[in-house]
Amino acid sequence: MDTPYPKPITPTQTRIGWIGIGVMGSAMASRLLSAGYSVTVYARTPSKASQLQSQGAHLANSPFDVAKTSDLVFTMLGHPADVRQIVLDNENGLLAGLNPGGVMVDTTSSHPALAREIFAAAREKNCWSVDAPVSGGDIGAREGKLAILAGGDGGVVKWLSPLFDVMGRVTYVGNAGCGQSCKIANQITVGANLVGLSEGLVFAEKAGLDVRQWLEAAREGAAGSMVMELFGERMIGRDFRPGGFAEYMVKDLGMGVDVVEPESDKVVVLPGAALSKQLFSGMVANGNGKLGTQGLITVIERINSKTHDRCHNMARVRR
């Protein structure tokens, strides 16, 4: 079978696998369960699957077992190295278990070259892969309002649309790897917005303004953004619970700033992204890599000789 989409996707017919059930992955898988789909999950720490199991998810012992019992498998992992290990570098891994005609969808923020490598390996097995990283944070994942940036075969992406519609809005952006390139560009923009929002809040407070009043005023003008909507109140309230870890932003920005692909003759100079990466790296160096990206404001505060009680911050994180 050249393409999977002659068989329609429906809750009664389609078996879904899910690998990676952290903050984002768990929320996305939960939405599919709520929509009536059968979902089998794999977690390195099985206890993390308890909430999804209470919704009806099945727990598998390995990525291989997830793939073997699924028509299509989603992954939401931390780093490209995790994706490689789960998908390619393990004889008991996902691709080894995927049945001919099966589809894997990697929603991890990963590397474009790895996405192309996985696509080629999947085609050798008469399977398909789609790189479909997402943007919108934990709120977008829970509410089904993620921006899904899909690369791969356009027909396969269209076939997957009933599932993407449960999680958010999908945009097909081109061949394999293009979804990941789109996400890197997205993160470059998000990083710059987080720097600007952090500096705006610190400046407003130093100037003696009511920061919530400033936020309400600014969101109606050109400074208003989705970053402001998602993170403005969280920054003011010292709520640094992660939708995405700060250390992952270092990884994402690094793929734009540091990595040069051998087959590309294009050189892109990104001074703003380099600065954003440096500031997020400062968060990691301060021991805050597992905080949400909105915690970037703590770096700007440190630069301005302002600190908050770390215990208070971490108490908010653990709630």
Q: Phi and psi for 133 in degrees, rounded to 5?
A: -65, 160
Q: d(Cα 232, Cα 212) in Å, to the nearest integer?
A: 9
With a CB cutoff of 8 Å and minimum separation 6, the contacts of 269 are none
**57: nearest Cα among 70, 34, 41:** 41
Whether the Cβ atoms of residue 309 and residue 223 lie closer than 8 Å to each other: no
Q: d(Cα 314, Cα 318) in Å, to the nearest integer?
A: 6
Q: SS3 of 205, please?
A: helix
Residue 7: active-site member: no
DSSP state of 296: G
Residue 169's identity, in one-letter code, is: R
With a CB cutoff of 8 Å and minimum separation 6, the contacts of 307 are 298, 301
The residue ranges of DSSP E strands in the chain, in sequence order, are 15-19, 38-42, 58-59, 72-75, 103-106, 128-131, 134-135, 146-151, 168-174
Residue reference for tokens 């299509």: 72
**52: nearest Cα among 73, 77, 23:** 23
- Find the catalytic residue in 183, 251, 266, 277: 183
Q: SS3 of 63, please?
A: helix
DSSP state of 98: P
Provide the annotated active-site residues. 183
